[in-house]
Amino acid sequence: MAPVVTSLDPNKGPIAGGTAVTINGSGFTGVTAVRFGTAPASFTVISATQIIATSPAGFGTVNVTVVAAAGTSNGFAYSYVAIPALSSLTPGRGPTSGGNTVTLTGTNLSAATSVQFDTSPAVITGNSATQIIVTAPTAPAAPADVSVTTAGGVSNPLPYFYIPAPTVSLLGPDKGPLSGGNTVTITGTNLTLTSTVRFGAVAATGVTVDSDSQVFANAPSGSGSVTVTVTTPGGTSTPGLGTVYYTYLAVPAVSSLNPSSGPAPGGTTVTFTGSGLTYADEVRFGSVPVPFTAVSDTQIIAVAPGGAPGTVTVVVRTPAGTASGIPYQYVT
């Protein structure tokens, strides 16, 4: 009775051949030949129901047959698969924590059995003949060689770069007007590839990378205190040590001075009443800056300097801007 082939394991392999194929069936005693199409294969008979053969080189799909004195078996399909080839990775870089989606483009990518980032396997979420979508693993190295394995073999490698996450440690200034628009210097680490700066949930404009440790950005409008974050291909910074909070302030206002006049030699203690005074950084009588104490958000105490008889404009400045001037009179 002629031998019978019931299955091949595996039933596909590279065009170069060399794959160990287990042939299952019956009637394998006394087998004299195993053929892949018309090409002979080297083989070892394990038992009457199993043969292990080494596939020869070939193309397309061929029938594997077993020849014995009693005749030739039925044919069982074996497919030759071209070696996969990679042409690009998108994106070609990502965070050291992995987890981002990477699209591999190339040829002969169907039925990929694995995608490796060096020795770390990626999770395959989509696969076609020209494209594989994976979830990147955590960083095995920097950079990592990415390769695809199919029944046709292992592809050429392409480099994938792991980028450390950015950090923000200092803002200067860390306060500004509700309307935004002022330039803020952001200091930290791993900032070279900054793509976005956010004040809270709002993206800043005018983002300029000065160095790996410094970025400039124009604050958007806002209110209250918000966390400033930086986003790069390595991820988004998280609050940590340092000053990473930006506070929005109302423009200061001064409604009255008490007293509103004093002697020309100066020395008068003057109480300013108004709003938004907490973060005052300068008080001037005319062009003369004076020492002062912010008592509350609505009150400042300063000592008037000497001045010529007449009226000068007194102003208060904070990071949010300068209050409209209010008159103070020097008398003889």
> pLDDT tens digits for 55-73?
999 999 999 999 999 999 9
Contacts with 84 (C-beta within 8 Å, 6 or more apart), sequence order: 106, 107, 108, 109, 112, 148, 149, 150, 152, 153, 154, 155
Give pLDDT, residue 117: 97
Q: Is the pLDDT of residue 306 over 90?
A: yes
**In angstroms, rounded to a whole number, what is the distance separating the alpha carbons of residues 109 and 93?**
21
pLDDT of residue 95: 94
Residue with tokens 């938004």: 276
Residue 332 has a pLDDT of 87
pLDDT at 243 over 90: no
* Dihedral sign from CA coordinates of 124, 126, 130, 134: negative
Do residues 218 and 182 touch, judged by C-beta distance below 8 A?
Answer: yes
Looking at residue 141, its pLDDT comes to 66
What pLDDT is recorded for position 68?
Answer: 97
Measured between alpha carbons, how far is 165 from 94 in angstroms, rounded to an integer? 9
pLDDT-derived band at 81 (thresholds 50, 70, 90) equals: very high
pLDDT (mean) for 10-24: 96
Give the residue among 66, 73, 82 at the shortest CA–CA distance from 12.
Answer: 82
Q: Which fold has domain 85-163?
A: Immunoglobulin-like (2.60.40)
C-alpha span between 181 and 176 (Å, rounded):
9
What is the C-alpha separation between 124 and 134, in angstroms, rounded? 4
Q: Is the pLDDT of residue 178 over 70?
A: yes
The tens digit of pLDDT for each residue in 19-38 reads 999 999 999 999 999 999 99
Which tens digits make up the pLDDT trace of 40-56?
999 999 999 999 999 99
For the cut 70, the answer to whether the pLDDT of residue 6 exceeds it is yes
Q: Which fold has domain 167-249?
A: Immunoglobulin-like (2.60.40)
What is the predicted pLDDT for the residue at 241? Answer: 64
Superfamily of domain 4-81: Immunoglobulins (2.60.40.10)
Q: Where in the chain is the domain with CATH 2.60.40.10?
A: 4-81, 85-163, 167-249, 253-331
Q: What is the CATH number of domain 253-331?
A: 2.60.40.10
How confident is the prediction for the chain on average, in pLDDT? 96
pLDDT digits (tens, 9 = 90+) for 142-151: 799 999 999 9
